[in-house]
Amino acid sequence: MAKNDLIGGELWEQYSDKVADRMNNPRNFGELTEADAKKLDGKLIIANEGAESCGDTVRLFWIVDEKTDIIKKATFKSFGCGTAIAATDMMAEMCIGKTVDEAAKITNLDVEHALRDEEDVAAVPPQKMHCSVMAYEVIKRATSIYRNVDISTLAEADIVCECARVTLQTVEDAIRINDLTRVEEITDYTKAGAFCKSCIQPGGHEKREHYLVDILARVRAEIERERNPEKVQPDDFSKLSVVKQIRAIETALDEHVRPALARDGGGIELEDVQTAEDGTVQVHLAYQGSCKGCAGSVAGTLTFVEQMLKKEVSDKIRGVVV
């Protein structure tokens, strides 16, 4: 079957030939049994993983040499889209010959990269990147079964998006690898924020430890510092004098906030700046004019001001209205 028949329409050009080939002809599809493990003098491991957000499921089979921890053979069974099948097939292949600990370090980005035809061209459309996340998760589950430990002990990073099971590391890598500048792009590449949206910014129905707006601001600041090291000040913003902090914040407010608020008859004044023990800088603000007492100013305007100050001044800033 041709790639354009397999995927259909104008989308087919966004998939690599490797992805299309493994959709049609997965190399490692099938089950392994105790009899297979006995022939290879290894231990059979069977792990299941599913993605509630899209309904895909996968079952991973390993035969592991218990003396060396090396995975002698790996196969899979899957119910899901073609992209998930291709990603899981590549993931299983990447496990073979590695120790269990080495396999546990394989990420969904490693899988996607292995499926590329060209080094700098993504193997799948941005909206299908989440299909490789399940392959990453099932490796962790297989590792936990082999090690007889709770899977939570193997977590290398926090989950940012529970709906799509996207980790903090995945979001950070997606921003860096693809030079993303907007939250919407993060969603396209990882599916984080595509469902309940609680992980996008504070104010959703479920409180999160990490929000996409904060991650994006922090990583973009890191990228900017790396690209323009000559612009980096030797001192961290939180270590600057209060006078210098206020000067920088006032400049940003004048250029990026006050003109926008003035158009609606509102305003904002800087009341105080305090540096907390954890290095975050608390900016105490007071609304004026139409902003004062406005329900939208509690969340919407504050979020806008805080994001702007993080972008223009420091990612350590946390806005507080007084």
DSSP line for 217-255: HHHHHHHHHHH-GGG--SS-GGGS-HHHHHHHHHHHIII
Q: What is the pLDDT of residues 246-267, one digit of tens each?
A: 888 888 888 888 888 887 777 8
Q: Catalytic site residue 163?
A: no
- Tell me if residue 269 falls in helix, strand or coil: strand
Across the range 216-228, mean pLDDT stands at 86
At residue 158, the pLDDT reads 79
- Looking at residue 227, its pLDDT comes to 81
Is residue 200 a contact partner of residue 211, using CB atoms and an 8 Å limit?
yes
Domain annotation for the chain: domains and CATH numbers: 3-154 (3.90.1010.10), 157-232 (1.10.10.1100), 235-321 (3.30.300.130)
Q: What is the mean pLDDT of residues 142-146?
A: 95
* Residues above pLDDT 70, as percent of the chain: 83
Rg (CA), the chain: 24
Buried b (16+ CB within 10 A) or exposed e, 126-157: bbbbbbbbbbbbbbbbbbbbbeeeebeeeeee
DSSP annotation of 255 reads I
pLDDT band at 291 (very low <50, low <70, confident <90, very high): low
Q: What is the mean pLDDT of residues 45-59?
A: 80
The residue with greater pLDDT, 27 or 239, is: 27
**For residue 169, pLDDT beyond 80:** yes
For 65-118, the pLDDT digits (tens) are: 999 999 999 999 988 788 889 999 999 999 999 999 999 988 877 898 999 999
Position 234 scores a pLDDT of 40
Tokens, residue 312: 């223009």
Least confident segment among 47-56, 167-176, 209-218, 307-316: 47-56
199 is annotated as an active-site residue: no
pLDDT of residue 205: 64
**204 pLDDT tier (thresholds 50, 70, 90):** confident
What pLDDT band is residue 6 in, cutting at 50, 70 and 90?
very low
Instruction: Give which of 278, 276, 268, 273 is closest to 313, Cα–Cα.
Output: 273
pLDDT tens-digit profile of 230-249? 554 545 677 777 888 888 88
Residues present in the chain in total: 322
Catalytic residue among 54, 81, 196, 294: 54
Average pLDDT, the chain: 83
For 202, how many CA atoms within 13 A lie in the half-sphere containing its CB? 13
Can you give the pLDDT at residue 23?
A: 92
Catalytic residue among 95, 131, 161, 199: 131
Q: What is the pLDDT of residue 67?
A: 97
pLDDT at 19: 94
Q: Picking from 73-87, 145-159, 198-212, which range would have the lowest pLDDT averaged per residue?
A: 145-159
